[in-house]
Amino acid sequence: MFYLIERAKKCLDFSATLYIIHLFICIIYGGWPSSITWWVVNGTGVAVMALLGEYLCIRRELREIPITRYRS
């Protein structure tokens, strides 16, 4: 996600979209997930993925831009 998104603002949207697609695939394959464990694991996964992605993207955005000066 760090290389794919590259913007901290988009990390939550990407994470939520990815897990919603995962939910639809799970519904098609095996029906509505009724286990509380499934919901806890996937909710935690969305939160960790969004927070870690935002953290890494913010670190990348806040790096100094290297400026080289040419002597004439």
- pLDDT band for position 31 (50/70/90)? very high
d(CA 19, CA 13): 10
Task: Note the pLDDT of residue 21.
Answer: 96
Task: Quote the percentage of the chain above a pLDDT of 70.
Answer: 94
d(CA 52, CA 38): 21
Angle between helices 11-30 and 36-61 (to 10 degrees): 150
Task: Note the pLDDT of residue 71.
Answer: 59
For tokens 């935690």, the residue is 44
